[in-house]
Chain A
Amino acid sequence: MFLLNFLTILFGKLMVRVLRMMGKNAGNLPGLALWTLNKKCLKAFRPDCPIIAVTGTNGKTSVTNFLSYIFSKSGCKNIITNYEGNNLDTGICSLLLNYCTMTGKIHADYLVLEVDESHVPVIFSQLKLETLIVLNFFRDQLDRNGEVETLILKVKKFCETFDGNLILNGDDPNVARLGLANPGNKKVKYFSVERYKYATETLYEAGEGRFCPVCGHALEYDYYQYSHIGKFRCPKCGYGNYPVYARFTGIDPDKRTFTADGGKYTTVCSSIYYMYNLCAVYSAAKLYGIDKEIIRKAFRSFRVNNGRLESFRYKNSELILNLAKNPVGANMTVRIMNECPGKKELLFVLNDNTADGLDVSWIWDINFSIFNNVSKVVASGTRAYDIAVRIKCSGYDASKIKVRPDLDDAVKELFSGEGKKFAIANYTAVQPARAALNRFIGGVRDEK
Chain B
Amino acid sequence: MSLSSTPAESRGTDAGPRPARSARHWWRGRSEVFVGLLTVGIGLFLGEQTLTMHVPDNSASPGPQFFPSVVAVLMVVLGTALALQVIRRPAPEPESGPADSEHRAHDQAGSVGELVDGERPPSGAPAAHSDWRTIGIVVGSVALFALLLQPVGWLLSGALLFFGVAWAFGGKRPVFEAGVALVYSSVVQLAFVAGLGLKLPAGILGGVL
Specify whether A and B are partners.
no
User: Which A residues are closer than 8 A to B by beta carbons?
Assistant: none
